[in-house]
Amino acid sequence: MTTGTATTADPADPADLLIDRNIRDSAPDKTLLSSVRTHGILVPIVCLQDGDGLRVRDGHRRTLAALDVGLAEIPVFVTETDATDPARVVAQYAINEHRAGLSDTERLDAWSQLAAFGISAADIATKTGEKKATVAAALSLTDLPAAASAIVKQTMTLEEAAELADFSDDPDTIDELITAAEHGSFEHAIDRKRNERDLAAAVAELSETLQAERLHHLQPNERGNARPLHQLRENGKHIDELAHRECPGHCVEVQSCWDWAQDADGRHVHTAAARATIWCRDFATHGHTDSWVGTGSARAAADPEALKAKRRETIANNKAMADAQIVRRNWLAEFAQRKTIPAGGAMFTAMTMLRLRDGHMLSSFAERRGLDLVAEWLGLDHADKLDARIAKATPARAQHLALVIQLATYEGGADKELWRAFGGWNAYYLEALQGFGYTLSDVEQATVDGAHRA
């Protein structure tokens, strides 16, 4: 039998070939078995000649199929090139990934094998052409069996599962995110959880600072007889915050909020923050009066519980829509990079132009803000540079940019209250995004559904 870099195949008994563990699930499927039974092995098996015999390097599934159907001989190429186990795994990774694509389970298994050889995540990423962060996070899934199981069941992608490493100490969140992946809402769910975590951290940090100043934190059971200081008066006058520190009822309430900051590229981005509001407990006992008494509606006086429930709903919807906006704008930034307009895009552009002309939709601020968003999505530092970018575009790209500009006009008028009824334009906009491939969050879907019921 010839060896080396021969271009002709030699016959070999498949029962004599040595089969190492392959990173791909080696069990042949019915289609492969039928093909081998009918046509035999058409593509030679690549084997390494070592001291133990011929060891399969490429063609594990075909070799097993040949054994299953009882072939006595199959064609093989024999090479003397020795390869260490890590090199074998990397070679199989390249062969299988670029031939038909490895499944996520097989990719994770390959990375785990390489890690077992002591190879770092960075080196694995280099050898396999993957992102280091993805490999490192995926390797941590050994401590998250539920995530690994979701990959095997194909209800979660490897990239999604890798993001669960951020919540490895929170099994309830892990379960919630796995469920979200099953329903196609993983991106919204994990963004919401990250926001909740970041906001909670901001509140904890500010609370710790205020605790060091020995300021009492307003407790939920104290709110009934407490009021924000800005709402109180003493002898008809506003109460100075510094002077109020001597009041026995002086306390603070720490709440999460969003602030603006500049990222490394100088762009303004939302960042988690917290704010402290001064309150007074048992304010009437301390000689203060509520300036808002008498200004409430008759409805509020008649049904205070309904008013509280409505306020809770408003707060929840505002928060959910603010979270959704982050995901939506990230999606729009990627959408803006496309080269051609999607199906339905030209119709949306034309309809939006008509609506803007009729003047019954949005405002000039929304248009200006929309152009700023387009510039941001295209990596430009100012909207004034959009005309030059469009002038260089191909006709197909220019049509797509026209669509992006119209979408940005809607987005420029969107805020955390997008869930409210705004004459139907909000639902029209969200439904259009859905048609272009965007996955609506729960609150966005409820906005669309509500418009259809109206």
Residue 309 or 18, more confident:
18
Task: Give tens-digit pLDDT for 219-255.
Answer: 888 888 899 999 999 998 999 999 999 999 999 999 8
Which ranges of 359-424 does DSSP label H, i.e. alpha helix?
Answer: 364-377, 386-391, 395-412
Q: How confident is the model at residue 378 (pLDDT cuts 50, 70, 90)?
A: very high
Query: What are the distances in angstroms from CA 336 to CA 39, 196, 263, 344, 362?
Result: 49, 28, 20, 16, 21
> Are 26 and 64 spatial neighbours (Cβ–Cβ below 8 Å)?
yes
Task: Give tens-digit pLDDT for 192-221.
Answer: 899 889 999 999 999 999 888 888 998 888
| Residue 434 within any structural domain of the chain | yes
Mark whether 282 and 347 lie in a shared domain.
no
Question: Residue 103 half-sphere exposure, CB side, CA atoms within 13 Å?
Answer: 15
Task: Give tens-digit pLDDT for 69-117.
Answer: 999 999 887 876 555 566 666 666 655 554 555 677 778 778 877 877 7
Mark whether 325 and 360 lie in a shared domain.
yes
d(CA 64, CA 417): 60
Share of the chain above pLDDT 70, in %: 84
Task: Give tens-digit pLDDT for 35-65.
Answer: 788 778 876 787 888 888 888 887 888 899 9
d(CA 110, CA 89): 7
> In this model, does residue 30 exceed pLDDT 60?
yes
Q: 74-79 and 53-58 as β-strands: parallel, antiparallel, unpaired?
A: unpaired
> In this model, does residue 326 exceed pLDDT 50?
yes
d(CA 382, CA 266): 12
| Residue 124 within any structural domain of the chain | no
| Residue 287 within any structural domain of the chain | yes
Domain of residue 305, residue span: 195-312
| Residue 381 within any structural domain of the chain | yes
Predicted pLDDT of residue 234: 92
Mark whether 326 and 340 lie in a shared domain.
yes
Single out the residue in 248, 279, 312 at which a domain terminates: 312
Task: Give tens-digit pLDDT for 112-140.
Answer: 778 777 788 888 888 887 888 888 878 87
Predicted pLDDT of residue 21: 65
> In this model, does residue 340 exceed pLDDT 50?
yes
Predicted pLDDT of residue 7: 44
Count up the domains in the chain and report the number: 3
Mark whether 318 and 442 lie in a shared domain.
yes
Q: What is the mean pLDDT of residues 416-422?
A: 81
Mark whether 446 and 335 lie in a shared domain.
yes
Mark whether 260 and 321 lie in a shared domain.
no
> Are 280 and 229 spatial neighbours (Cβ–Cβ below 8 Å)?
yes
> In this model, does residue 4 exceed pLDDT 50?
no
| Residue 137 within any structural domain of the chain | no
d(CA 349, CA 247): 60
Mark whether 235 and 294 lie in a shared domain.
yes
Predicted pLDDT of residue 395: 92
Tell if the pTM clears 0.75, that is, is over it: no
Q: 45-50 and 74-79 as β-strands: parallel, antiparallel, unpaired?
A: parallel
Ranked by mean pLDDT, the top range of 78-82, 159-163, 257-261 is 159-163
Distance from the Cα of residue 123 to its chain's centroid: 26
State phi, psi for 30 to the nearest 5 degrees: -65, -35
> Are 79 and 47 spatial neighbours (Cβ–Cβ below 8 Å)?
yes
Single out the residue in 49, 82, 115 at which a domain terminates: 82
